[in-house]
Structure 1
Amino acid sequence: MASSVLEDLCLHINTKISTIKKILQLRNIGQESSLKSMLSKIGYEMFFLNELLNKMEMELQGQEKLKNLLKELQKSAGTDQKEARYLCKNIPPHLPKPTASCVTGLMVKSGEQTKVTEPEPAKKSTKEPRFIKEAALITMEEFKNVPAYMRGRLTYDQINAVVQDINKTVVNKYKILHQPPKSMNAAVRNLYHRFLEAETKDTKGKFFIVEADIKEFTQLKVDKRFHSILNILRHCQRLREIRGSQLVRYVIC
């Protein structure tokens, strides 16, 4: 029994001695000039790894919040769908029917007789509103399928915000092009002629804008981030480019 206790004591002492030797060896390594650069590199890698882990943790937290939000939306959509199905199956059989004709004229009494004066038919406008093509917003599914190298740190909302600014530019531009030139002031007429000069045979019948149009109608900065979003919009087939005469034309798909 005493022998077993003595062996355990010897093992414990030997372990402590081994630990002290390792500590002394590590301290000596830090003092050797040939190993200082390696230790410095290891320290830098450890710092970089720690930063990467912090970013991953923040990304996971963001994804967790997004997942919870999507669950709530899914639950809400399911409830709305059930209510819609119930309403479709339980339509009241005696709904009020619209009258065959609605008298909107003026009622003028003359003695005991009442005359109905029908209004004159409204004059139909000879000019119909012209169609202006706009780019559809990016869906969440499309956003997820964009390659990571192309997406970078851009968010779903940032991309669709640019799509909305592009649509705003297209609408404002083609509203001017659809106006009769005689009704324009000098500033608008200058824009009108600039729009016409940017057109080519390749853009005939298409809706397009250039960077100058974006600067004219929005506060959007035409910078590196903007061009990264344009790459994503081309990838998602919202835009395509037509180049010529030192000008890039962004055509709405």
Structure 2
Amino acid sequence: MKYIRFLLFPFSTLYYLITSLRNLLFDKQLLKATSFAVPTLVVGNLSVGGTGKTPQIEYLIRLLSGVYKVAVLSRGYKRKTKGFLLVSEASSVEEIGDEPLQFFKKFKNITVAVDEKRVHGIQELLKQHSPEIVLLDDAFQHRTLKASIYILLTSYADLFTNDFLLPVGNLRESRHGAKRAETIIVTKCPADLSKKEQQEIAKKINPSKNQSLFFTSISYSQTLKGKQHLELKELVNYEVLLITDWLQALAISRSSSFFKSNY
């Protein structure tokens, strides 16, 4: 598979030219980008794949929703509808996607909406709910929006500095796009990541003076919650079947991190 992808290098070069021209036009303000008075925080990445955007959005919700009126706007990945929709108790995964529904069910004091056109989505949120802060999931490449803050995520096991543009690699745009972020977060780090390794990663990413760099890890619950609760340590008594596909593994989480967990 790796060698087949490298045969696609000419297409990767063409993709680079197209995405770089698009970014240049926005950087030079030859293409219009809309900003808002209300603070807008974008959480995104440069690559296709699971960098931990959902846990990061949830962290921001917990951090901010006790103080501000928070709204979350997502495109609604794989939903079967179009346009702006508010998430409600009657919403289904087919209508609004799984992650927006997850946000809505976990956090009752926020507004959740979906719209593939982020600018239009924010305009509708302001009309209907007047949020004080809007969190945008996976909108780093949505250049028609000029957000207040950009938070860029990159996975410890798959740093954007080690990757290549599609279709050779998994990058949606060139590594230079990282310069748009105010904050870069290396996600899914080992809990015992040493200072020395942090410095080595920082050297690879080479953040500018105006950028903050953080390292985070994910702590999993020790209880599986469903109709019956099950302690994870009890899984050793079961034969476990994990079913996934390559697209789901990229979009949600690399399954290798699951196997490395202490289950």
Name the TM-score, length of structure 1 as normaliser: 0.22
Higher helix fraction (1 or 2) = 1
Name the TM-score, length of structure 2 as normaliser: 0.21
Say which one has the larger Rg.
Answer: 1
**Higher relative contact order (Cα pairs below 8 Å, separated by 6+ residues):** 2
Higher strand fraction (1 or 2) = 2
